[in-house]
Structure 1
Amino acid sequence: MAAIYPYLVFNGNCEEAFNFYKSAFGGEFPYVGRFKDAPSDQLMSPSDGERIMHMSLPIGKTILMGSDSSTTMGDVSAGTNFSISISVDSKEEADKLFQALTEGGKITMPLQDTFWGSYFGMFKDKFGIDWMINHDTNEVAI
């Protein structure tokens, strides 16, 4: 069964925004990763080191997720700063959804095993909506 989560993208102030959301909703961040935590061949730009690569905040039965845009990808603006993130139970389910939803769209990161222990891919569907498909292959909290 797939779970769907909102994924927000910021221009370098993700941590500030998530601390604000935490002050309103409470809770704790199960994971905060910075671009500098990625293997050196994965780092987008040295100036991105302190930017947030991924963080999450559980809110009730859902999880608010977010990251900063990398400087190499450029700034995002309201309306282009979110994705729909789908977490699935198996690689097979990830493959099936990825294939179905990318029809007529543009793949920005093919489904692949990642250094953070997930099977993950990203794309823009034919309607211009950004999606992420994720299957956690380890026990790391999202």
Structure 2
Amino acid sequence: MMKVMVMVKATAGSEAGVMPTNELMEAMGSFNEELVKAGIMESGDGLKPSNEGYRVRFSGSKRSVIQGPFVETNELVAGYWVWNVSSMEEALEWVKKCPNPMFEDSDIEIRPFYSMEDFADVDTSGEFRAQEDALRHTLSLQKASLNNYLFFSGRCEEALNYYVQHVGAKIDLLMRFSDSPEPIPEDMLAAGFEDKVMHCEFTLGGAKVFASDGCNDGTTLSGFSLALTVATAQDAQRVFAALSENGQVTMPLAETFWSPLYGQVTDQFGMAWMVMLPAT
């Protein structure tokens, strides 16, 4: 795979702040939907005219700020996408399908990103690559989502109904053990738990909470876990390995029907974690 930036070049119209018609908005929306369905679009946005922007010019130790507008219209960027494609040829084919983003003649430029492999002759020790990998891992974790995961030992549905009635909770998803697309392992569930809640998600006060009945009965709330959803398998493996150090793995990372990669671990401080990738 290769990563490319696809840049919509500015025109006199875009620099004048001419807004697109409904027809163009619909056409571009449909094109973006195709990109998302194809799994190649990472991000994309339009940019305001350069009269709302600034440039910082570097000259030795001196820095000077220049306020737009900038006169080189054909060198300015009015919008962009970031795509992950198999080749430049694939990127070109997608750009050819794009509606003309401007009212006048326009250009879209495609530029590949550098990868660390391009700097192999400079980074002979691998030090810079390791630093880059660590930074990317940190950035990825900053975008991860963390949820409390509650276990109600057989009273989950009762608790949910109570929260809905009295504290304004909203149930977003509920799946019972009997709804599982895969057979439940023998002897995993206590008797009578077949219709208990295997997994649910509810929103309360703007926060999303995960919950389950667990696999057996109990007289009180049996505990909770922190459910950490990360973006990539590499992130999941690195985080899981770190949490496992001097801890106890309850369920090794593996593919499940609800996640491409999922595992459970109790860390060295006694905190229970669920580490997972989002469902595809």
TM-score when normalising by structure 1: 0.82
Shift of 1:25: 2.5
**Contact map agreement 1:7 1:82 (CA 8 A) in 2:** yes
Measure how far apart 1:66 and its partner are: 0.5
Identity of aligned residues (%): 31
Q: Which moved more, 1:42-51 or 1:97-106?
A: 42-51
Q: Take 1:9 and 1:105, find their aligned partners in 2: how far apart are those partners?
A: 21
1:32-80 CA-partner distances (Å, limit 9, x unpaired): 1111222224462363211111001123443111001212xx63755x5
Structure 2: runs of 5+ lacking an equivalent: 1-142
Contact 1:34 1:51 in 2 (8 A): yes
- 3-state SS of 1:57 partner: strand
- In 1, the alpha carbon distance for the partners of 2:185 and 2:278 equals 19
CA RMSD of aligned residues (A): 2.0
**Within 5 A, what are the aligned runs for 1:41-120?**
41-42=184-185, 44-45=188-189, 47-71=192-216, 75=218, 77-78=220-221, 80-120=222-262
Contact 1:9 1:76 in 2 (8 A): no
Residue of structure 1 equivalent to 2:77: none
Greater Cα shift, 45-54 or 11-20: 45-54
Determine which structure has greater relative contact order: mean sequence separation of CA pairs < 8 Å that are 6+ residues apart, divided by chain length: 1
> Rg: which structure is higher?
2
Number of residue-to-residue matches in the alignment: 134
Confirm or deny that 1:35 pairs with 2:177. Answer: yes
SS at match of 1:48: coil
- Structure 1 residues without counterparts, runs of 5 or longer: none
What is the CA deviation profile of residues 111-134 of structure 1, one whole-angstrom value per residue up to 9, with x for unaligned ones? 111012442111111111111112
Q: State the partner residue of 2:154.
A: 12
Residues 9-39 of structure 1: per-residue CA shift (max 9 Å, x gap)? 0111101112222231243x22211112222
Q: Structure 1 runs of 4+ off > 6 angstroms? A: none
What is the CA distance between 1:2 and its match in structure 2?
A: 1.5
Aligned to 2:109: none
In the alignment, which residue of structure 2 is the partner of 1:121?
A: 263
Pair 99,77 (structure 1): closer, same or farther in 2 beyond 3 Å: farther
Partners in 1 of 2:193 and 2:231 — Cα distance?
32
